[in-house]
Amino acid sequence: MDEAGLAAAESSARDRATGEPDELSGDDDVDVRAEEPAEEPAEASETPDDEPEQPEPFEPADPADAAEPSEQPEPSDPADPAEPSELLESSDSPAPADPADAAEPSEQPEPSDPADPADPADPADPADPAEPSELLESSDSPVPADPAELSEPSDEDAAPDTVEEGEGAVGGEEAGEGSSEEQAGEDAEAQDESAGAAEGAPADEEADQSSGRGLMGRFKDAVAAVRGPDKPTEVQSVVDRPDFHNPQALNARPDRYGNPLEREDGTRVPLFDGAPRREQTHQGSIGDCGMISTMGAVAGHLPDTIRDAVREREDGDYEVTLHETKYAALRGRYEPTGRPVRLTVTPELPVFSEEPGKAGFARTAEVGVAWPAILEKAIAGVDQTWDDERRAKWDRQHSQADAGTRGYVRLDNGSYGNERAEVLTQLTGRPSSVVEFPSGYDMQGRSADRQLIEDIRGKLADNCPVLVGTVSTKRSEAPLAKDLISGHAYEVTEVDDRGHFHLRNPHNINHPEELTVSEFKKYIKPSYVTLE
């Protein structure tokens, strides 16, 4: 080896010992990128002929790529697939390192369907991304898009179930109450009040800070402005003589108030005789089959609930405790508000002058106990505690009745499924709803008939009352089969091993024959009321 070659070899050895690379000439083909990938991570993406390996949705293929999103080259053609870092940014990644990138959200692709992650091979949509509030509403917002969904289930063209003792039926489809317009108006009004309170808060900020109240104090003031003054802890009212004169009644009605609970021998009809039973509810000369069916169903499944709701006082009056109830639009059910409704009920009841010893409505002498008649009177008088909105709802739903109809006359106009659900919650303090009959097969492969049989059987097994109403027929049409009464409310008491439905008539006599599932669906309106 000549002297020049020996000197070059010694120099190379010294450089390797100190860790410094050799200088490369223009003809050398050594690629130092393999030794230092962090220096230039974008080199691989500059070869347009090679398709980059696609990562799983929203996961970067290379940690180095995700760490430095600002160094990724922007594709010149919108049809080019999005880089892994772009996919990460479009989903849930932190802001990019380069502020310029963060200032241009319009370059981030927006997925067309939240359920389907963006396909890296799919051209990106240059449309502006949705605001955070829009993303929340499009994915997990509980507010329905259609304001009509906020209203209670309704069919205001139908007639309620209203059949008094010994009378043929007139009536129509089940219905709910309320209107989507009113509900939407309530929501808008609440939002306006909340916004107004929030706008007024900064003006008092300095005073609040000086007084030590701070942000929490202003928040409480805003909430109080929306909620209004505190409500009393319970609702109280005296139910003395609810109106019972119904000018639209077709059959005879009681003509005066009397005291049929006082016997000729000086004793009084007892409030209870053992545990309350459904057989002790007997509808009288009034079209409140839905209310009597509901009371009997609760007595049959939850007798302690009835016993706890009614008590006799030392002064001879009765105290009935119900649960204040509101319709929860977002859940589609009736729920207790938490406030009790305590009603003082006097013992006088509507009677016929020719039979003053017999209650004209819910029977007492025939069943030997007073609780059904007292509870019926309480339900008739609870409208004394209604606000203007609740009164307007009833007037609107029962448009066939005179405006301002209250008391027993209100009950005489019959009930819709939603009204029976409301009373069910008032009696039990538990949420209730109107459940539509299933249609089609479910995820377990069960037919609609099998679902209906098993669902109602399961509710009964869980001691949840089930209430239904029959379809309505015209007086000129043939009566319903199986001893069913048109437009009448019934309690479902059993679904036997053969899948047959057993119903109880609130008249306490003439119970219909058992129904097959086909007959049940033919003669019963396609929904039922139950507890959740």
- Predicted confidence at residue 519, as pLDDT, reads 98
User: Please, which pLDDT band fits residue 384 given cuts at 50, 70 and 90?
Assistant: very high
Residue 407's pLDDT is 97
Indicate the range of 37-51, 420-434, 449-463, 482-496 predicted with least confidence.
Answer: 37-51
Q: What is the pLDDT of residue 276?
A: 98
| Residue 441, pLDDT above cutoff 60 | yes
Report the alpha-carbon distance of residue 347 to residue 55 in Å, rounded: 78
Residue with tokens 């027993």, as numbered in its chain: 408
Closest to 392 (Cα-Cα) out of 172, 159, 182, 243: 182
- In angstroms, the CA 338 to CA 322 distance is 10
Q: Given this model, what pLDDT does residue 24 score?
A: 35
**Do 449 and 441 meet the contact criterion of CB atoms below 8 Å apart?**
no
Q: What is the spatial distance between Cα 402 and Cα 341, in angstroms, rounded to a whole number?
A: 26
What sections of 201-271 are H helices per DSSP?
205-211, 214-227
Handedness of CA 197, 203, 206, 207 (dihedral sign): negative
CB atoms within 10 A of CB 69: 22
Query: Which is nearest to 377 in space by CA: 393, 365, 360?
Result: 360
Instruction: For residue 194, give the amino acid letter.
Output: S
Report pLDDT for 152.
59
Q: What is the pLDDT of residue 198?
A: 43
Mean pLDDT lowest among 71-85, 298-312, 429-443: 71-85
**What would the mean pLDDT of 97-125 be, rounded to a whole number?**
42
Question: What is the β-pairing status of strands 333-345 and 318-328?
Answer: antiparallel
342 forms bridges with which residues in the sheet?
236, 321
Measured from the Cβ of residue 500, the count of other Cβ atoms closer than 10 Å reads: 16
> Model confidence at 248, in pLDDT bands (50, 70, 90)?
confident
pLDDT at 280: 98
For residue 444, name the pLDDT band (cuts at 50, 70, 90). Answer: very high
Q: How confident is the model at residue 238 (pLDDT cuts 50, 70, 90)?
A: very high
The pLDDT, as a whole number, for residue 227 is 60
Question: Is pLDDT larger for residue 364 or for residue 112?
Answer: 364
Give yes or no for residue 298 having a pLDDT over 70.
Answer: yes
Name, in order, each residue with C-beta under 8 angstroms of 505's C-beta and a sequence gap of 6 or more: 485, 488, 490, 511, 512
Mean pLDDT of 435-446: 97
Cα distances (angstroms) measured from residue 223 to each of 85, 214, 351: 43, 15, 50
Phi and psi (nearest 5°) for 46? -85, 0
- pLDDT value, residue 165: 63
Using alpha carbons, select from 526, 381, 513, 397 the residue that is nearest to residue 468: 526
User: Cα dihedral sign for 252, 377, 524, 422?
Assistant: positive
State what percent of residues in the chain have pLDDT above 90.
53
Average pLDDT for residues 321-336, to the nearest whole number? 97
Residue 225 has pLDDT above 90, yes or no: no
pLDDT at 232: 76
**How high is the pLDDT of residue 249?**
87
Residue-level pLDDT at 43? 43
Q: What is the pLDDT confidence band of residue 192, given thresholds at 50, 70 and 90?
A: very low
Q: Look up residue 526 and give its DSSP letter.
A: S
pLDDT in tens, 457-500: 999 999 999 999 999 999 889 999 999 999 999 999 999 999 99
Inform me whether the pLDDT recorded for 236 exceeds 80: yes
Instruction: Confirm if 501 and 495 have CB atoms less than 8 A apart.
Output: yes
**DSSP-derived pairing of the beta strands 432-436 and 527-531:** antiparallel
DSSP one-letter string for 15-65:
HHHHTPPPPPPTT----GGGT-TTT-GGGGGG-TTSPPPPPSTT--SSHHH
| DSSP notation for 448-484 | HHHHHHHHHHHHHHTT--EEEEBPP--TTSPPPSTT-
- What's the rounded mean pLDDT across residues 12-22? 45
The pLDDT of residue 218 is 74
- The yes-or-no verdict on residue 11 having pLDDT over 80 is no
Contact between residue 436 and residue 410 where contact means Cβ atoms under 8 Å apart: no
Other beta carbons within 10 Å of 178: 21
For the chain, the residue count is 532
Rounded to the nearest integer, the mean pLDDT of the chain is 74
How confident is residue 215, by pLDDT bands cut at 50, 70 and 90?
confident
Q: Which two tokens stand for residue 410?
A: 């209100």
Q: Comparing 105-119, 322-336, 405-419, which segment has the lowest mean pLDDT?
A: 105-119
393 vs 179: CA distance, rounded Å: 8
pLDDT at 262 over 90: yes
Q: 57 or 378: which carries more pLDDT confidence?
A: 378
Residue 163 has pLDDT above 60, yes or no: yes
How many other β-carbons are positioned within 10 Å of the β-carbon of residue 156?
15
- Amino acid of residue 221: D
Who wins on pLDDT, 46 or 136? 46
State the CB neighbour count (10 A cutoff) for residue 346. 18
Average pLDDT over residues 330-343: 97
Pair of tokens at residue 202: 């900064």
